[in-house]
Structure 1
Amino acid sequence: MYYAVIFTSTRTEIEAGYAEIAIKMLELAKAQPGFMGVESARNEIGITVSYWDSLDAIQKWKTNMVHLEAQENGRTTWYKNYKVRIAKVEREYEF
């Protein structure tokens, strides 16, 4: 069992600084204890799913100071809206 944080978003037209922060957030997340991986796609909406070994790890990521700053920039500059969902993954399979 592990957890998925599902982040869906609609972007504004503003691109300045977004790609650099996205790379920085990925590098920072990978360094966080409990981080297990990430998948992402963007068309009309963006969907990023990050995987974590515990709710505690998710909470620590959510309150990371650098991540908090990026979240604020997202709300004021890069996103029209977003939603975060946290789900428990009880089973997985793949082809």
Structure 2
Amino acid sequence: MSSLATVATWQVVLDAFLVCVGGLVSVHAYRGYRRNDSTAMLAVSVGTLVLVLAPFLLEYVFEAATVVTPLQSAVLRQAADSVAVLVILYALLR
């Protein structure tokens, strides 16, 4: 196995791990929202989920299926990250 293939494999594994951990954080924040009826926790949950899930879907699903080009994917990824961070900022300032 070439070193480039090894790096690509590790990237996929680590990206999947990030989605899993981000999903757990999002689920716990959602549970906090349900328990305390706190819209800030809902915002943290949604922001975290968008922050970790959007890049994964864009790179491994939409780019692989050639639904979007790499340039479109990069722009959409930046837009999703911006929205996610703004939603989390809203939660922190609330």
Fold shared, TM-score > 0.5 on shorter chain: no
1 or 2, which has the higher strand percentage?
A: 1
TM-score, L = length of structure 1: 0.30
Larger RCO (CA within 8 A; separation ≥ 6): 1
More helix by share: 2
* TM superposition score normalised by structure 2: 0.30
Larger CA Rg, structure 1 vs 2: 2
